[in-house]
Amino acid sequence: MSAVDEKTMEKIVALCKRRGFVFPSSEIYGGLNSCWDYGPLGVELKRNVKEAWWRSMVTSRDDIVGLDASILMHPKVWETSGHVAGFSDPMVDCKKCKARFRADHLETARCPEKPSKKPGECAGELTEARQFNLMFKTQLGPVEDSGAVVFLRPETAQGIFVNFKSVVESSRVKPPFGVAQIGKSFRNEITPGNFTFRTREFEQMEMEFFVPPDEAGKWYDYWCETRRQWYLDLGLREENLRMRTHGDDELAHYSVGCADVEYLFPFGWSELEGVANRTDFDLKRHSEASGENLTFFDNETNTHFTPYVIEPAAGADRATLAFLVDSFEEEKLEKETRTVLHLHPRLAPIKAAILPLVKREEGMVKMGQELAKQLRDAGISAFYDEKSAIGRRYRRMDEAGTPYCFTIDSTSLEDGTVTVRDRDSMEQSRMSAQEVLPFLREKI
């Protein structure tokens, strides 16, 4: 068997729709630009991505705690953080077709009327670039005046900075320590696109790691390597992953060093996550603006200091898309081509399919249903399916990324064994039904 054809975004988008990973939002009304809904398989996949992140960043460590801050925050947070003044992209308009483009993305943009041309190369003239703030505004409460304006957060990070004091006082943490958070963020992107890669509503997985200033360099290196390794451990191919260090002209206003984890999507190398050295910028600014003391008091040295912050900031949607793209394969078999997602078993939405060979055979159905229940009771997502030919059932599970199928046949009724089929090699072997749960526990 061998891989066939090129991996394209069109194929990934079609599979996502067909198998219920991702649907266009509000599709019955024609959809809403750049908004997507995760379907039954997609929601499980994304939950597993977030769960793997939370486990590696919070529950498996003793130096990071979790937080879930609200999306709406005091407007002063965004003035102080620099987002009101500086969180903007340069934008140009086409005077002819009125389309808007990011002035710094013109090289890769296309004229909507003449897609073979770049903006400005068609008959349309472009306006001068002007700054466009990416934060969404809304009203808090029923009174529509300027005093009620609040923003939908454009990053989860600020929720962590403004809770620094409360976390330190309540949790007895001591630098170096981190606070992690997963949640929705919103940016009114000028040019969203590439499926779920750049959207206006998305989920971030961010962790702020507070360290003594003289240890910032060491921890920056540590988090660059640790975060790169996380993607590899969950199955992304090494040749499709790279670290790219930002040039000085690319650094955000708060950062003195930043490296991106990039993945080679069908549309080119693109950012999955940024690891930044944010210095003491945020804590100092919030301390000045709020009047609160946001330093850390070190009992041993009897001194106060403002910790530096190393921030690995990832996107749950981008990571999910990268795992989908990387695992997607069209494999040429002797008589057909099979589409398969080689997802890491920990990420797979369904871990095990239970397939009685003959639907009308009562013993097989009973044994299959009992096995599925046993797995579900143990917290392992099992899919029971007795309909259609076994080959077609295997193909459906390959497309869903299900790593193991367990088939119950007449031999099962005689000796209590089942056939286990491996998604990637398609090899089959027999095992006792009682071994299925420990087998899956070990694999997952």
Residues that bind ligand GAP (CB under 6 A): 155, 157, 187, 189, 198-199, 202, 204, 206, 271-274, 313-315, 317-318
Give the nearest distance from C-beta 230 to ligand GAP in angstroms. 13
Nearest to 68 by CA among 153, 182, 186: 182
> For residues 45 and 320, what is the distance between their CA atoms, to the nearest angstrom?
7
Q: Name the residue number minimizing CB distance to ligand GAP.
A: 315
Helices (H), 254-308: 281-290
Token couple for 110: 């296309």
Count of beta carbons in the 10 Å neighbourhood of residue 201:
16
Give the nearest distance from C-beta 312 to ligand GAP in angstroms. 9
Residue 63 contacts residue 177 (beta carbons within 8 Å): yes
> For residues 181 and 163, what is the distance between their CA atoms, to the nearest angstrom?
12
Give the nearest distance from C-beta 161 to ligand GAP in angstroms. 10
Nearer CB in complex with ligand GAP: 187/228: 187
Token couple for 151: 């923003």
Give the nearest distance from C-beta 181 to ligand GAP in angstroms. 10
Token couple for 99: 């389309």
Give the nearest distance from C-beta 76 to ligand GAP in angstroms. 18
Nearer CB in complex with ligand GAP: 202/281: 202
Give the nearest distance from C-beta 406 to ligand GAP in angstroms. 36
Residues in the chain: 444
Nearer CB in complex with ligand GAP: 241/313: 313
Nearer CB in complex with ligand GAP: 186/383: 186
Q: What is the DSSP letter of 414?
A: H
Instruction: Give the 3-state secondary structure of residue 178.
Output: strand
Count of beta carbons in the 10 Å neighbourhood of residue 171:
11
Nearer CB in complex with ligand GAP: 283/354: 283
Residues 123-161: b if buried by 16+ CB within 10 A, e if exposed: ebebeebeebbbbeeeeeeeeeeeeeebbbbbbbbbbbb
Greatest Cα pair distance in the chain: 79
Give the nearest distance from C-beta 262 to ligand GAP in angstroms. 10
Give the nearest distance from C-beta 170 to ligand GAP in angstroms. 23
Residue 392 contacts residue 378 (beta carbons within 8 Å): no
Residue 341 contacts residue 398 (beta carbons within 8 Å): yes
Nearer CB in complex with ligand GAP: 156/419: 156
Instruction: Give the 3-state secondary structure of residue 419.
Output: strand
Strand partners, 90: 131
Strand partners, 352: 382, 404
Nearer CB in complex with ligand GAP: 68/334: 68
Nearer CB in complex with ligand GAP: 102/351: 102
